[in-house]
Amino acid sequence: MVLHAHRECHIVFKIGGADIEFGVGAKEYPVTAQSALMINAWEPHYYHYKKTEAKTVLLAFYLNPHWLKEVDRRFAASTHPKFFERPVEVLSHRLARGRDDVLDALTQVEPPSVQEMENLIAIIFSEILTLSPPRNLLQLASERLERDYDARIRKIVERMLEGGDLLCGPEDMACWSGLSRAQFFRLFKKTTGLPPTLFLSMLKMETSLRKVAQRDVSLQDIAFDLGFDTAGNFTRFFAGTQGFAPSKYRKILEVV
């Protein structure tokens, strides 16, 4: 999986195969059957597959921050890029059982109701915060104020998050900001923690997931809408950040 990021925090479990290491930020961390990997929103991460490794099966949760906040007020700041203080937590008995309960539910012939599945997932995330309490809202708000959030960059980010043109490039964004290309790249990364190319890739991936879930839209059309020359190039982009092809994602997709 290539270097990428998401706007939601997420948690990754290994449920089968070889132990691996995930790159989060500037370091690599183990993903084993006895640990949970916690990745913050807007945090760059990657995985480099090694030919000597056996296949690994992962269970990853990417959850809506509004839903998380309703589940547990401790998740009120889950979109903050430093919400989790550390990326790896050793599984407690309760957390391991919660992970296994979700796996059991996913493999049932008759799937559980949406409410039942939400309850199972809520147990996992609440236990994560019991094991690894996040910093309080005042601490996180103070950090955000200290990051020197440039107003010009903020306007560009807001414009793109509100439905900006995904066919634009970093140079277009620099032009909109009134900054030189070098100034824009430096300020954008300082402000958001991401280079503008990675930010655009993140937005394209979000749109890809929504569109691939619409079975009446062809992959060729999705590729064209997102600025890819061919469906093959789109497939490589999708697989590079999700770990599998969009056709496979569409085939197995279950909206919970």
Q: With bands split at pLDDT 50, 70 and 90, how would you rate the model's confidence at 140?
A: low
> pLDDT digits over 150-166, tens only?
889 999 999 999 987 88
Q: Looking at residue 106, what is its pLDDT?
A: 86
User: Which of 18-22, 50-54, 171-175 shows the lowest mean pLDDT across its residues?
Assistant: 50-54
Q: Looking at residue 139, what is its pLDDT?
A: 58
**Beta-ladder partners of 88:** 37
Long-range contacts of 241-248 (CB under 8 A, 24+ apart): 241/1, 241/2, 241/4, 241/201, 241/205, 242/1, 242/205, 242/209, 243/1, 243/47, 243/58, 246/208, 246/212, 246/219, 246/222, 247/219
* Cα distances (Å, whole numbers) of residue 200 to 108, 156, 166, 227: 38, 11, 7, 12
By CB neighbour count within 10 A (0-12 exposed, 13-18 middle, 19+ buried), where does 99 fall? buried
> pLDDT digits over 85-130, tens only?
889 989 999 999 999 999 999 888 887 888 899 999 999 988 988 8
Q: Which residue bears the tokens 């990754």? A: 12
Tokens of 100: 């296994």
- The Cα–Cα gap between 9 and 161 comes to 17
> pLDDT digits over 209-238, tens only?
999 999 889 999 999 999 999 999 999 999
Residues in the chain: 256
| 150 contacts: CB under 8 Å, gap ≥ 6 | 187, 190, 191
Q: Looking at residue 145, what is its pLDDT?
A: 47
> pLDDT digits over 173-213, tens only?
999 999 999 999 999 999 888 999 999 999 999 999 999 99
Q: Which helix (H) or strand (E) holds 101?
A: helix 93-106
- The Cα–Cα gap between 248 and 189 comes to 33
Q: Highest mean pLDDT: which of 19-23, 137-141, 163-167?
A: 19-23
Tokens of 201: 């890739």
Q: Which is higher by pLDDT, 108 or 49?
A: 108
User: Which of 6-20, 56-70, 137-151 shows the lowest mean pLDDT across its residues?
Assistant: 137-151
Q: Looking at residue 188, what is its pLDDT?
A: 94
Domains of the chain: residue spans and CATH: 10-141 (2.60.120), 148-252 (1.10.10.60)
Tokens of 106: 């996913």
Over residues 2-16, the mean pLDDT reads: 92
0.75 exceeded by pTM: yes
